[in-house]
């Protein structure tokens, strides 16, 4: 950013009356509903302004460590003077020091880079920016465009780049429903095999519903708790255990013909693990800051829809044969053995791979 200054000065020289200072701002609006601004400015000048405004004694020349120590407690005051508004509504900023350099060579400039950030409301169309800690003209760059702002004045509204406009609540719900569904069908082969394991145990509807309900409740609990940071388990533990759960339900299908009393409890326990697995995926996808809960619930509902679709497809495929005497021998046992083999292979692979 600092390398831009010569070019910016050249471009601006004829157009701006007030002196151009060393402050530069680069603002980005992210699709996830957040904005960030990198503010490069002179550290001692910034500190002196804050000190004088607060009635504190003005500091003289300081090294980088001392400047950082003096600036740190004043950052909330800086944040209150970074004024970003989306369609007129203020978006409170938080500010942190990203870099601070004070060269020993007096002919080289000192600078501090402040990282400011905040959230973008849904449906926002344009934003304005004002920085109340500068007297000079400075450049704000956004989406490849540079605007010049005089001192603490507010810039004219800048339209949000199309790609950066945060999605609406309805768009978030739709997006995460689809993501949840796709995480099962077609992407979630391990979860599909686990659901098929549940389906194959019995030809009666009630035991299947009991297991699916236990599984759903369990994975919903750990998905939510993991995403909110209440529980945490390494994927190195979760992923092998999910594979073990697949092998377990499939093997039990081979050795048992009916729903044992402990089976829903075991499925519930495995559901807890699968929920953590879903959370791992969801964390990689990211949740929009402004629509965290709707996105989480939508993702979970998408997962449910995916699971029910798996059961519906399985029922459509073999449901007509479930009353046949050979159904268990020719469908349940071979399919369960295949699922168990895959589950065991994954268990070993994920444990030692």
Partner 1 sequence: MRPPAIASAALLFAAALQAHDFWIEPSTFHPEKGMTVSVGLRVGQNFVGDPVPRNGPYIERFVVKQGRDEEPIDGMNATDPAGWFTANGRAAAVIAYASKPSFVELPAAKFEDYLRQQGLERIIAARAQRGERAKPGREIFSRCAKAILTGARASIAVTQPLGLRYEIVPHGDPTFGGAPFRGRVIYQRTPAPGMRVEAVFLKQPSIRLSTRSDAEGNFSFALPRAGVWLIKSVQMIDAPRGSKAEWESLWASLTFDAPPAEGRP
Which positions touch partner 1 (CB under 8 A)? 5-6, 9-10, 13, 16-23, 41-42, 45, 48-50, 52-55, 57-58, 61, 76-77, 80-81, 106-107, 109, 132-136, 151-152
* Closest approach of partner 1 to the CB of residue 41, in Å: 8
Give the Cα separation of 282 and 284 in Å (integer): 5
Bridge-based pairing state of the strands 137-142 and 20-30: parallel
Q: Cβ(199)–Cβ(315) under 8 Å?
A: yes
As measured in angstroms, the least distance from the Cβ of 82 to partner 1 is 12
In terms of CB distance, is 130 or 301 closer to partner 1? 130
Which of residues 6 and 261 has its CB atom nearest to partner 1 in the complex? 6
Q: CB nearer to partner 1: give 104 or 316.
A: 104
When the beta carbons of 61 and 230 are compared against partner 1, the nearer one is 61
Name the minimum Å distance from CB 43 to partner 1.
10
337-353 burial: b if 16+ Cβ within 10 Å, else e: eebbebbbebbeebeee
Cα three-residue angle 258-262-265, rounded to 5 degrees: 120
Please say which residue, 50 or 244, places its beta carbon nearer to partner 1: 50
Separation CA 54–CA 48 (nearest Å): 10
Quote the least distance from Cβ 7 to partner 1, whole Å.
8
Contact 244, 343 (CB under 8 A): yes
Are 317 and 310 contacting, i.e. CB atoms less than 8 angstroms apart? no
Nearer to partner 1, 81 or 269 (CB): 81
Whole-number minimum distance, CB 62 to partner 1, in Å? 13
Check: CB of residue 16 under 8 Å from CB of residue 146. no
Q: How far is the CB of 133 from partner 1 (least distance, A)?
A: 8
Report the SS3 class of residue 199: helix
**Nearer CB in complex with partner 1: 77/322:** 77
Radius of gyration for the chain, computed over Cα atoms and rounded to the nearest angstrom: 29
Q: In angstroms, what is the minimal distance from the CB of 119 to partner 1?
A: 20
Of all helices (H) and strands (E), which one includes residue 150?
strand 145-150
- Please tell me the distance from the alpha carbon of residue 215 to that of residue 213, in angstroms, as a whole number: 5
Round to whole Å and give the CA distance between 180 and 299: 4
Is-contact 68 98, C-beta < 8 A? Answer: no
Phi and psi for 130 in degrees, rounded to 5?
-140, 140
Closer residue to partner 1 (CB): 128 or 136: 136
């Amino acid at each position: 950013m600092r390398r831009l200054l010569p070019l910016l000065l050249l471009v601006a020289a004829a157009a701006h009356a007030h002196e151009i200072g060393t402050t530069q701002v680069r603002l980005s609006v992210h699709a996830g509903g957040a904005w960030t601004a990198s503010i490069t400015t002179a550290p001692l000048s910034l500190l002196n302004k804050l000190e004088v405004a607060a009635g504190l004694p003005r500091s003289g020349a300081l090294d980088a460590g001392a400047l950082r120590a003096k600036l740190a407690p004043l950052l909330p005051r800086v944040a209150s003077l970074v004024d970003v508004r989306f369609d007129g509504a203020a978006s409170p900023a938080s500010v942190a020091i990203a870099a601070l350099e004070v060269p020993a060579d007096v002919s080289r400039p000192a600078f501090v880079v402040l990282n400011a950030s905040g959230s973008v409301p849904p449906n926002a169309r344009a934003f304005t920016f004002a920085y109340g800690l500068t007297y000079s003209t400075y450049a704000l760059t956004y989406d490849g465009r540079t605007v010049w702002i005089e001192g603490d004045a507010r810039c004219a509204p800048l339209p949000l780049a199309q790609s950066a406009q945060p999605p609406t609540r309805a768009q978030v719900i739709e997006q995460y429903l689809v993501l949840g569904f796709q995480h099962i069908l077609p992407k979630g082969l391990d979860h599909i095999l686990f659901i098929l394991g549940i389906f194959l145990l019995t030809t009666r509807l009630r035991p299947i519903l009991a297991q699916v309900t236990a599984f759903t409740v369990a994975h919903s609990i750990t998905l939510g708790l993991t995403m909110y940071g209440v529980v945490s388990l390494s994927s190195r533990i979760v992923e092998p255990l999910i594979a073990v759960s697949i092998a377990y339900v499939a093997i039990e299908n081979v050795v048992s013909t009916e729903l044992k009393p402990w089976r829903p409890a075991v499925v519930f326990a495995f559901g807890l693990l699968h929920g953590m697995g879903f959370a791992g995926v969801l964390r990689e996808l990211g949740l929009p800051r402004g629509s965290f809960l709707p996105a989480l619930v939508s993702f979970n509902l998408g997962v449910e829809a995916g699971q029910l679709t798996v059961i519906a497809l399985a029922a459509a495929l073999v449901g007509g044969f479930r009353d046949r005497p050979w159904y268990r021998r020719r469908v349940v046992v071979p399919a369960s053995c295949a699922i168990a083999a895959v589950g065991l292979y994954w268990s070993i692979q994920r444990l030692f791979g």
